[in-house]
Amino acid sequence: MIEQLNQKFAIGNSLKFLPHADGLIQGIIETPICTGSFFLLGGHVSAYQPKSQQHPVLFMSRDAIYTVGKPIRGGVPVCFPWFGPNASDATAPAHGLVRTELWDVVEAKQTGASIVVRLQRELPNYRLDYRIEFGASLKMQMSITNTSDQTQQCELALHTYFQIGELSKVSITGLESIAFRDKLTGTIEPAAGIPIAFTAETDRVYMGKVAEIELHDPAWNRIIQIRPENSQSTVVWNPWIEKSKRLNDFADDEYLQMCCIETANVHPDELSINPGQSAVVGVQVQAQDKSILPK
Ligand code: TA6
């Protein structure tokens, strides 16, 4: 399998496929401008770091489990065709069907200084075509095609885990004017009017389109810019102390090193796709040293 993948899709030393310690297959990117990686399991982007950055952009748990059928804790899990628990089937896996299944590589190419990989996954009623660009920024774009003969409602979330320097100093701007559904209380809260800071378990769905979100990380003197494409929902999550202890694939102290800012279309802004039609949802992630950003 790995030999065929490398024969067909390897790009010099910039993209190669290697066996992961746990028997999974990982695509490894190494270029003059960035490093990155992804698993065929879940179409799961697992690392991204521009050479200009001292620290990884994406968080991966040191207790992550790497097994087909299990989600990988960290990176960018793909939640589809539902987000969270299944509304009608309590036995169905959380966050849908595709993050625990193997995806196929359909294309790999160098575009300028970037490496572009396309992964595909078929499932009942849908085909997913996932374009991932590892370059000066990380670009992820999911094309969802309705292969059934009926209009389909579905949810998508690119459940991105960001690595951070010091949680107590982190703030998120760009969502101040957006009302949110607080998943911990079940209530709809008005726009806060101030940046998001983490002082307790946080699990919110911001409802509305935004042009840009910024994750400010003073401890590492960097700002991560997040530019959604065709996304009506942004999920912001930090498990904090007690939930971290309940996650068996997440170390108790790792809530201090991460936060999730997820580009999504989830309830009440599900996607509705007509037969044979496609919806495209994506996000561009760029890490900048704070000192070089315009004042
Ligand atoms: O995106 C936030 C969330 O829905 C939280 O409620 C929490 O469950 C998190 O996703 C992780 O879910 P997972 O199934 O990966 O443990």
Which pLDDT tens digit goes with each residue over 210-229?
999 999 999 999 999 999 99
Query: Phi and psi at residue 131, in whole multiples of 5°?
Result: -100, 125
Percent of the chain surpassing pLDDT 90: 97
Of 237, 246, 259, the one to substitute when testing ligand 1's pocket (max ligand atoms within 8 A of C-beta) is 237
Please state the atom number of ligand 1 nearest to the C-alpha of residue 73: 15
Q: Could you tell me if 235 and 204 are in contact, meaning their C-beta atoms sit under 8 angstroms apart?
A: yes
Q: How far is the CA of 234 from the centre of ligand 1 (A)?
A: 13
Of 162, 184, 203, the one to substitute when testing ligand 1's pocket (max ligand atoms within 8 A of C-beta) is 203
Domains of the chain, earliest start first: 2-292 (2.70.98.10)
pLDDT for 154: 98
Which of 146, 118, 141 has its CA nearest to residue 278?
A: 146
The pTM is what?
Answer: 0.97
Give the H/E segment covering residue 200: none
What is the distance between the alpha carbons of residues 276 and 69, in angstroms, rounded to a whole number? 29
Mean pLDDT value across residues 266-290: 97
- Could you tell me the CA-to-CA distances from 137 to 55, 134, 282 in Å, in that order? 14, 7, 13
**Which tens digit of pLDDT belongs to each residue from 128-183?**
999 999 999 999 999 999 999 999 999 999 999 999 999 999 999 999 999 999 99
Place of tokens 């990982």: 26
CB 181 less than 6 A from any atom of ligand 1: no
Instruction: Give the model's confidence band at 294: pLDDT under 50 very low, under 70 low, under 90 confident, else very high.
Output: low
Q: Could you tell me if 6 and 12 are in contact, meaning their C-beta atoms sit under 8 angstroms apart?
A: no
CB 262 less than 6 A from any atom of ligand 1: yes
Q: Could you tell me if 89 and 171 are in contact, meaning their C-beta atoms sit under 8 angstroms apart?
A: no
Mean pLDDT value across residues 17-43: 96
- Mapped onto helix, strand or coil, the DSSP state of residue 240 is helix
CA-based end-to-end distance of the chain: 50
Measured from the Cβ of residue 124, the count of other Cβ atoms closer than 10 Å reads: 9
